Homo-oligomer: A and B are copies of this chain.
Amino acid sequence: MTASAEMPPPPDDWRPDNPRPAGWLTPEDLAVVRAQLPLVYVDAVPVRVDESGDVVSVGLLLRMGPRGLTRSLVSGRVLYHERIRDALLRHIEKDLGPVALPQVPTSPQPFTVAEYFPTPGITAYHDPRQHAVSLAYVVPVTGDCRPQQDALDLDWLTPEEACSEDVQSEFVGGQGVLVKQAMGWVGRLP
């Protein structure tokens, strides 16, 4: 959910060359809806854990955005007639590849709900394109993760590194705060 003055390329789930199941919107329709309704999103914080479930590192994507390199989480829309857990799986596969082997949480209770507003300052999250209500989950991955598509790289940082000022300054739209909230929830906030 990268911020951008010139509307960034839309996520792959509605790009024109994709087969579009019934119920999917055209890019034009979506643009109209985006100005009128909050959209349902998911944010996944991919983590590596040790054998006792303790978080060892956090996977952050590195993308080239309009304002330079930015870090981001796995994030995207929930589609019509799609379960939240299936949206999580789809976006993790889209961003981390088909063999990331994610352990989607058993419960739909998110660790938080990130409300991205088109107007900055209302919440900690901001998305100039739209109002998105994003259910945020920590998702352990045990397989091989490779950045896909527009991501340049995937870095595995310790919780301390991910919460450091340097790394935090590389997020846009409040996703840095979301990482810190995730680390607080797993008991690894420095």
Give the distance to chain B from A175, nearest Cβ to Cβ, in Å.
13
**Any chain B CB within 8 A of the CB of A111?**
yes
Do residues B185 and A109 form an inter-chain contact, with CB atoms below 8 A? yes
When distances are taken between beta carbons in the complex, the residues of chain B under 8 Å from A138 are 106-107
Stretch at the interface among A59-67, A75-83, A144-152: A75-83
Check if B112 sits within 8 Å of A184, measured CB to CB.
Answer: yes
Whether the pair B181, A189 counts as a contact (CB closer than 8 A) is yes
Which residues of chain B have C-beta atoms less than 8 A from A85's C-beta?
Answer: 52-54
Contact indicator A110/B107 (Cβ below 8 Å) = no
Chain A interface mostly helix, strand, loop or mixed? loop
Contact of A83 among B47, B109, B122, B189 (CB under 8 A): B122
Map CB proximity to B onto A93-119 as digits: 1 under 8 Å, 0 otherwise. Answer: 000000000011111111111010111
Given contacts A113-B84, A131-B80, A133-B78, contact A187 B108 (CB under 8 A): yes
Q: How far is the CA of A136 from the CA of B83 in the complex (A)?
A: 16
Contact residues in B for A55 (Cβ distance below 8 Å): 106
Tell whether, in the assembled complex, residue B81 and residue A118 are in contact, meaning their CB atoms are under 8 Å apart.
yes
For A29, give its contact among B25, B36, B49 (CB under 8 Å): B36
Q: What chain B residues lie within 8 Å of A131 (beta carbons)?
A: 80-81
A162 at the interface (CB under 8 A from B): no
State whether A117 and B81 are in contact (beta carbons under 8 Å apart), knowing that A181-B189, A185-B181, A187-B107 are contacts in the complex.
yes
For the complex of A and B, list the 3 residue pairs with the smallest distance between their C-beta atoms, beginning with the closest: A53-B104, A184-B184, A181-B184
